[in-house]
């Protein structure tokens, strides 16, 4: 007997492991969830739609798809300095495969617990595999990080390492069973939630690196009406990446590869020392890669003074 929609939701998504965030006044089971945010806070919301064959491989393991999709969505909350609270999931499936759903549900629960976020509701329907996630969180009123606000002289920094996900994607294109650090960085990125919250009232601007460093930093530069000068040799590369590909390819991945979901942010020089201390204390690497300048556009320089020309980042259309 085919599984009905409500049986599917009850079996795979109405489970305690998917309630890792703040308590809901009313959750799954009614036409709407009812949610309370703390007094003195503003709600931060973001939505992502991810399609099989475009944003992930349809034949990846289901728990990998779940990890990747939820982490990518929660990364938007990190970029705003928001505390995760709830998410809605709209899941379109070609058929209701119990084994696939169980694996997907487990991966979703593991990632939700890592992020401290609860499933509040959503929808399921039949069709080509696609996943839409709507995340909600909060930040103290006036404290949310934005793309505007960078000033001339601010330092430009990034968390973690860049280019790993692009290299992991290349590995998984030829081998869906690829293992190791780079493949995991592709399907299980780490939203920098604690860092984003620490940056409240410190960073002048922030964005997560989803479409490529140069392209995403460009959003800050456009919103802040300024420019940037970056040092190519300062782009942080992991040991796994430089072991896998030539250095020039690693730098291309770092500048334009995207989907690392690290934070790129600007800091007044007065906060630079405290940011580097935070990096040491939290074991989250933070690297200064350049400075904000008055000349519009983003320029990247080789160590010999020649200008590096990056590839374009991910284009949605």
pLDDT tens, position by position, 217-261:
999 999 999 999 999 999 999 999 999 999 999 999 999 999 999
Cβ–Cβ under 8 Å, residues 82 and 208: no
Q: Which two tokens stand for residue 154?
A: 């601010």
Cβ–Cβ under 8 Å, residues 60 and 102: no
pLDDT at 175: 87
Q: Kindly state whether residue 238 falls inside one of the protein's structural domains.
A: yes
Q: Kindly state whether residue 149 falls inside one of the protein's structural domains.
A: no
Residue located via tokens 């709209």: 90
Cβ–Cβ under 8 Å, residues 168 and 241: no
Per the structure, the complete domain to which residue 191 belongs is given by 155-307
Distant-in-sequence, close-in-space partners of 93: CB < 8 Å, separation ≥ 6? 124, 125, 126, 127, 129
Q: Kindly state whether residue 18 falls inside one of the protein's structural domains.
A: yes
Domain boundary among 86, 107, 140: 140
Shared domain for 118 and 61, answered yes or no, is: yes
Q: Domains in the chain: how many in total? A: 2
Shared domain for 200 and 124, answered yes or no, is: no
Shared domain for 38 and 178, answered yes or no, is: no
pLDDT at 240: 97
Burial label for 200, CB within 10 Å (0-12, 13-18, 19+), is: middle
Shared domain for 290 and 174, answered yes or no, is: yes
pLDDT at 283: 95
Burial label for 285, CB within 10 Å (0-12, 13-18, 19+), is: middle
Shared domain for 230 and 267, answered yes or no, is: yes
Shared domain for 252 and 169, answered yes or no, is: yes
Q: Kindly state whether residue 312 falls inside one of the protein's structural domains.
A: no
Strands 227-231 and 130-140: unpaired
Shared domain for 195 and 300, answered yes or no, is: yes
Shared domain for 48 and 184, answered yes or no, is: no
Shared domain for 293 and 238, answered yes or no, is: yes
Shared domain for 109 and 168, answered yes or no, is: no
CATH number, domain with residue 40: 3.30.1330.10
Q: Kindly state whether residue 148 falls inside one of the protein's structural domains.
A: no
Q: How many CA atoms lie within 13 A of 185 on its CB side?
A: 26
Question: Which stretches of 177-314 are assigned E, i.e. beta strand?
Answer: 205-208, 227-231, 263-267, 286-293, 297-301, 307-308
pTM for the model: 0.94
Shared domain for 115 and 22, answered yes or no, is: yes
Q: Kindly state whether residue 217 falls inside one of the protein's structural domains.
A: yes
Shared domain for 209 and 94, answered yes or no, is: no
d(C-alpha 271, C-alpha 46), whole Å: 28
Domain boundary among 111, 140, 169: 140
Question: Which stretches of 68-181 are assigned E, i.e. beta strand?
Answer: 83-93, 118-126, 130-140, 155-159
Residue 146: CB atoms within 10 A of its CB come to 17
Cβ–Cβ under 8 Å, residues 135 and 270: no
CA distances from 275 to 44, 145, 151, 211, 248 (A): 24, 16, 17, 25, 29
Domain boundary among 108, 140, 172: 140
d(C-alpha 10, C-alpha 76), whole Å: 28
Q: Kindly state whether residue 160 falls inside one of the protein's structural domains.
A: yes
pLDDT at 268: 98
**Regions in the chain scoring below 70 on pLDDT:** 1-2, 312-317
Q: Kindly state whether residue 227 falls inside one of the protein's structural domains.
A: yes
Residue located via tokens 């201390």: 277
CATH number, domain with residue 295: 3.90.650.10
């Amino acid at each position: 007997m085919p599984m009905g929609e409500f049986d599917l939701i009850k079996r795979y998504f109405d489970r305690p492991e998917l309630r890792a965030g703040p308590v809901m006044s009313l959750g799954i089971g009614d036409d709407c969830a009812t949610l309370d945010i703390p007094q003195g806070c503003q709600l931060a919301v973001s939505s992502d739609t991810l399609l099989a064959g475009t944003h992930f491989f349809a034949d990846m393991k289901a728990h990998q798809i779940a990890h990747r999709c939820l982490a990518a969505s929660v990364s938007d909350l990190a970029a705003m300095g928001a505390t995760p609270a709830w998410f809605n999931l709209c899941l379109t499936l070609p058929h209701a495969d119990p084994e696939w759903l169980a694996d997907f549900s487990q991966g979703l629960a593991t990632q939700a617990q890592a992020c401290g976020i609860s499933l509040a509701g959503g929808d399921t329907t039949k069709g080509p595999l696609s996943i839409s996630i709507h995340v909600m969180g909060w930040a103290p009123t006036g404290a949310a990080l934005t793309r505007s606000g960078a000033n001339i002289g601010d330092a430009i920094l990034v968390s973690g390492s860049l280019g790993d996900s692009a290299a992991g994607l290349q590995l998984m294109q030829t081998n869906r069973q690829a293992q190791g650090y780079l493949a995991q960085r592709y399907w299980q990125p780490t939203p920098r939630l604690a860092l984003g919250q620490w940056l409240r009232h410190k960073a002048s601007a922030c964005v997560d690196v989803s479409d490529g460093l140069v392209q995403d930093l460009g959003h800050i530069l456009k919103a802040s009406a300024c420019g940037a000068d970056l040092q190519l040799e300062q782009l942080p590369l992991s040991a796994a990446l430089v072991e896998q590909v030539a250095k020039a390819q690693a730098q291309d991945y770092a500048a334009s590869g995207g989907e690392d979901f690290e934070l790129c942010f600007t800091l007044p020089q007065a906060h630079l020392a405290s940011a580097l201390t935070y990096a040491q204390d939290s074991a989250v690497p933070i690297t200064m890669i350049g400075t904000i300048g008055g000349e519009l556009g983003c320029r990247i320089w080789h160590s010999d003074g020649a200008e590096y020309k990056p590839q374009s980042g991910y284009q949605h259309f």
